[in-house]
Structure 1
Amino acid sequence: MNINKLAPLALSLLCASAFAADGSISISSPANGAMVSAGKKTPVVYEAALGSTGDHLHLYVDGNRVDVLREKKGSAELDALPAGKHHICLTVNTKSHAPTGVESCVDVTAQ
């Protein structure tokens, strides 16, 4: 294979890894696929490593930011969810609220 054709691929892989987000988030509750009570508050239990550029977490329900979390480990309480399926996500963000690319999501059904 021609080395000139491989060079751009190698460069793009190096650049992608250089800008890859570090850090992690785990949501321990609710579990992915869980049933939660509609009309009752839902706790979200999490633990995060913010990485080198992370400053805080954003909590989203169905694509809407509902909270900003400063603790790396803890829980947040969601307001009562209406009946139906919901997508809950936590993202790591910089001081300027830009996402770092680290996120964790679960899907739940409120009944």
Structure 2
Amino acid sequence: MNIKILATILFALVSVQAYAVEGKVTISSPANGATVSSKNPIPFVYDAVLGPDGDHLHLYVDGNRVDVLHLLKGTAQLDALPAGKHHICMTENTKAHAPIGVESCVDVTAQ
């Protein structure tokens, strides 16, 4: 087998394993920079792959925890946000609720 092909395959396998070990959180909606209604609840769509120490997810709005989620993919309902700018984050956490550093955040403006 050609050494370049073998090296490429080995690199791809190591990359996939590193991805699975670290975990990943993706926010599909609302999009970063989106404008949302300040009068209606906001659907929060997410998808996560937990790392080996991860157990569940925490959802934060402006630094305040608003939900604990055990489903790795789904939609959570955020209460209507007051008018202004807001920072929404989802973090991966251990069974003891300690964040492990895997997170995804978006900024939205409620009007």
Answer yes or no: same fold by TM over 0.5.
yes
Structure 1 residue 39, shift from structure 2 partner: 1.8
The code of the aligned residue for 1:61 comes to V
- Please name the residue that 2:15 is paired with: none
- Please name the residue that 1:43 is paired with: 43
The code of the aligned residue for 1:106 comes to V
Q: Within 5 Å, which residues of 2 pair with 1:51-70?
A: 51-70=51-70
Please list every run of 5 or more consecutive structure 2 residues that lacks an aligned counterpart in the other structure.
1-20
- If the length of structure 2 is used for normalisation, what is the TM-score? 0.80
- Give the fraction of aligned pairs with identical amino acids, expressed as a percent: 73
Deviation per residue, 1:13-35 (Å, 9 max, x gap): xxxxxxxx710000000000000
Q: Within 5 Å, which residues of 2 pair with 1:11-30?
A: 22-30=22-30
Name the SS of the counterpart of 2:39 in structure 1: coil
Q: Kindly report structure 1 stretches of 4+ aligned residues shifted beyond 2 Å.
A: none
- Please name the residue that 1:3 is paired with: none
Name the SS of the counterpart of 1:89 in structure 2: strand
- If the length of structure 1 is used for normalisation, what is the TM-score? 0.80
State the distance in 2 between where 1:94 and 1:23 align: 12
Please list every run of 5 or more consecutive structure 1 residues that lacks an aligned counterpart in the other structure.
1-20
Backbone CA RMSD of aligned residues: 0.8
Matched, 1:87 2:84: no
